[in-house]
Amino acid sequence: MIHDMIAIIDEYWLLLLIGQYPNGPLGGLANTLILSALSIVIAFPFAILLAFARLSSYRALRWPVTVLVYVTRGVPLLMLVLWSYFLVPLLTGADVPSFLTMLATLVVYQGAFLSEIIRAGIVALGQGQMDAARALGHSWFGAMRYVILPQALYNMIPSMLSTFVATIKDTTLGYVINVPDLTFAASQVNNQLLTQPFQVFLILALTYYVICWSLTALTNVVERRITRRRAGLGPRRRGEIALPLTPKVTEQL
């Protein structure tokens, strides 16, 4: 069993890592990571705007975003993937690669989730920060830019990291529309071998496990640091006992 798995990795590691890259589109693990990183980077500013809209006092801004958030929370990602697969080529009028379709889906989906995280971060800071900043002469945007967001976003770093982990896991759904990611590469390997599906999919599962586990571990470290800094303590000295922590936020929904 282990020998089979080592033999598979030995033969197909390049395909699993970068897909058919020089001779075809980039794929494999590299594509999975690029897709998730890009979607978080694009979703982030979008999510801040959505959070502002949800906190706004104008109904015309608040309601559509609330609907969007509830739709993304209530509809399976698979359904959204199918929607973009159908709508993105229709709207752009071009033959869009499945990578971009998946990217668009993830931006909307994770944007909605991130906006909830950011909104919670802003609300958790309390109204006093905004009032004080306004009293000091900041405009609403100035207060947001210089007072609220720097604090809220800093406190939200752990939740954002766990959103990134969730995004990596969500990219697997690209399989349904043939995005050439890690899952796709593994099923290609499986189609070539045909005889060892368990070994191939176990390698796939373990690869995801290693990546997501290390990112989750990083999240926990960062979270502990931030909790300490918020409590007004410096970096932990050697031999000092760790602070008891509040319940972790290592995953979304």
Partner 1 sequence: MKGFDLAAILGNAEYMAMLAHGIQITFVIAICSWLLAMSLALVLLAIRFSPGRIGNSAVAAYVSYHRNVPTLVQLMLWYFGIYTLLPSGIADWLSAHSAEMVFAIIGLGLCQAAYFSEDLRSGLRSISPGQMEAARALGHGYISAMRYVLIPQGVRNALPALVNHSVSLFKNSSLAIVIGAPELSHAVKEIENLSFRTFEIYLIGTVLYLVFSLIIMAAGAWLTWRADPLNGASR
Residues of the shown chain interacting with partner 1 in the complex, contacts defined by CB under 8 A = 70-71, 73-79, 82-83, 86, 165, 168-170, 172-173, 175-176, 183, 187, 190, 197-202, 204-205, 208-209, 212-213, 216, 247-248, 251, 253
Looking at residue 252, the DSSP 8-state letter turns out to be -
CB 90 → partner 1: shortest distance, Å? 9
Q: Tell me the residue length of the chain.
A: 253
DSSP bridge pairs for 26: 19
What is the per-residue DSSP string for 182-215?
Answer: HHHHHHHHHHHH-S-HHHHHHHHHHHHHHHHHHH
CB 200 → partner 1: shortest distance, Å? 8
CB 44 → partner 1: shortest distance, Å? 22
CB 17 → partner 1: shortest distance, Å? 17
Comparison of 52 and 164: residue with beta carbon closer to partner 1: 164
Query: Do 185 and 28 touch, CB atoms closer than 8 A?
Result: yes
* CA–CA dist 24, 178 (Å, integer): 14
Residue 247: C-alpha distances to residues 60, 216, 250 (Å): 36, 15, 9
- Residue of 159, 193, 170, 148 whose CA lies nearest to 37: 170
CB 89 → partner 1: shortest distance, Å? 11
Comparison of 30 and 130: residue with beta carbon closer to partner 1: 30
Comparison of 151 and 172: residue with beta carbon closer to partner 1: 172
CB 166 → partner 1: shortest distance, Å? 10
Comparison of 232 and 247: residue with beta carbon closer to partner 1: 247
For residue 138, report the phi and psi dihedrals to the nearest 5 degrees.
-70, 145
What is the per-residue DSSP string for 29-76?
Answer: HHHHHHHHHHHHHHHHHHHHHHHHHHH-S-HHHHHHHHHHHHHHHHS-
Looking at residue 126, the DSSP 8-state letter turns out to be -
CB 242 → partner 1: shortest distance, Å? 16
Comparison of 41 and 79: residue with beta carbon closer to partner 1: 79
Q: Which one-letter amino acid corresponds to residue 44?
A: F
Residue 108: C-alpha distances to residues 44, 167, 190 (Å): 10, 12, 32
